[in-house]
Amino acid sequence: MDLASIYYLGVTILLFLVFAAIVARTYSKKHKASGEEPKYRMMNDDHPEENGKGGRDVRRK
């Protein structure tokens, strides 16, 4: 096994560990609420009148 093979093996293992950390963080119960928040915020922008905020609706009336 030469030095290049060891380097590529190390990079592969490092990237796999980064991927596993991202998956673990995404599906952890601790971060579930903060991960779901943008989805609900986007859905609230579809109906700005229901929220009373006015939203970002810039259409001319």
Residue 18, pLDDT score: 98
- CB-CB contact of 45 with 55 (8 Å): yes
Provide the token pair at 43: 């859905």
Q: What is the reported pLDDT for 55?
A: 55
Per-domain residue ranges of the chain: 3-42
How does pLDDT run across 21-46, given as a tens digit for each residue?
999 988 888 887 787 788 888 877 66
Average pLDDT, the chain: 81
Neighbours of 38 (CB within 10 A): 9
Binned at pLDDT 50, 70 and 90, residue 16 comes out as very high
